Amino acid sequence: MNNYSVVNYHVTNRCNFHCSYCFAKFKEPEASLTDAKTIVDNIASYFRECGITDGRINFAGGEPLLYRHLDELIDYAHSIGVLVSVISNGFLLTEERIERWKGKVSCIGISVDSLRDNTNRSIGRCCEEKTLDLKRLVSLSQKIRECSIELKVNTVVSKRNLDEDLTALYLSLKPDRIKFLQMHLIRGVNDKAEADRITEEEFKAFCSRYQSLSPEPVCESEGSMENSYLMVNPAGKFQLNNGGRYETFGSLKTTPFSEILKKAPMDSDKFNSRYTGGRVQ
Ligand code: SF4
pLDDT, tens only, 109-130:
999 999 999 999 999 999 999 9
Average pLDDT rounded to a whole number, residues 73-90? 98
Q: Tens digits of per-residue pLDDT, 40-62?
A: 999 999 999 999 999 999 999 99
| Ligand 1 atom with least separation from CA of 61 | 3
Q: What are the two backbone dihedrals, phi and then psi, of residue 164, each rounded to the nearest 5 degrees?
A: -80, 145
Nearest 10 degrees: CA dihedral of 243, 244, 249, 253? 140
Q: Are 167 and 134 in contact (CB under 8 A)?
A: no
pLDDT at 154 over 90: yes
Which residue has the CA at smallest separation from atom 6 of ligand 1?
19
Residues 6+ apart with CB under 8 A from 3: 50, 51, 52
**Fold of the domain spanning 6-274:** TIM Barrel (3.20.20)
Q: Is the CB of 90 under 6 A from ligand 1?
A: no
| Ligand 1 atom with least separation from CA of 21 | 7
Beta-bridged to residue 153, according to DSSP, are 110, 178
Confidence grade of residue 274 (pLDDT, cut at 50, 70, 90) = confident
pTM over 0.85: yes
Confidence grade of residue 225 (pLDDT, cut at 50, 70, 90) = confident
SS3 140: helix
* CA pair distance 72, 59, nearest whole angstrom: 12
Confidence grade of residue 272 (pLDDT, cut at 50, 70, 90) = confident
What pLDDT is attached to residue 1? 58
User: Ligand 1 centroid to 21 CA: how many Å?
Assistant: 8
Q: Is the CB of 109 under 6 A from ligand 1?
A: no
Average pLDDT rounded to a whole number, residues 181-196? 94
Average pLDDT rounded to a whole number, residues 201-216? 96
* CA pair distance 99, 246, nearest whole angstrom: 36
Q: Is the CB of 189 under 6 A from ligand 1?
A: no
Q: Are 230 and 238 in contact (CB under 8 A)?
A: yes
Confidence grade of residue 280 (pLDDT, cut at 50, 70, 90) = very low
